[in-house]
Amino acid sequence: MNHPTLWKHPVACIALAAASALAVSAAWASGASLSGPSIAAASSLVPLTAKSLPASSAVTVAVAGPSGREAHYSHVSSAEGSLAVNVKVSESGNYKVRVLDSAGRELASTMFIAQ
């Protein structure tokens, strides 16, 4: 049986390349970032800043601490697409903070260690 290979069909190759490029660009489309210190003092407030979020949109800040429990806090991004929050650190260990859109999709994330 003779199976045609994809590379022999230029139109199929171009369509596949275009679809791949769209998938990659969609994944990076938001370009959102979340930044803050990499090490923080235990029992403190850790300042974090998000940028390039959808403007004036409802977002959720999800904070997972060393125990594995995740707390969610509702916020609204600024008209410029930024958000500044302080995360309360209650115990030593690794923390992961994520910014989620209204559908629960992750827009940005960061991690820090509380000592």
Output the six-digit token pair for 63.
């904070």
Output the six-digit token pair for 79.
């008209």
In the predicted structure, residue 11 carries a pLDDT above the cut 50: no
Contact 52, 28 (CB under 8 A): no
**Higher pLDDT, residue 35 or 1:** 35
Domain range for 89 is 30-114
CATH number of the domain to which 36 belongs: 2.60.40.2470
pTM, two decimals, is 0.72
**Predicted local distance difference test score (pLDDT) of residue 14:** 46
Residue 7 in domain: no
Residue 51 in domain: yes
In the beta sheet, which residues pair with residue 42?
none
pLDDT in tens, 38-88: 999 999 999 999 999 999 999 999 999 999 899 999 999 999 999 999 999
Output the six-digit token pair for 51.
């940028």
Residue 65 in domain: yes
Residue 8 in domain: no
Residue 50 in domain: yes
Q: How many domains does the structure of the chain reveal?
A: 1
Give dist(CA 30, CA 50) in Å, integer.
12
State the CB neighbour count (10 A cutoff) for residue 109: 16
Classified as helix, coil or strand, 12 is helix
pLDDT > 70: percent of the chain: 74
**Predicted local distance difference test score (pLDDT) of residue 15:** 41
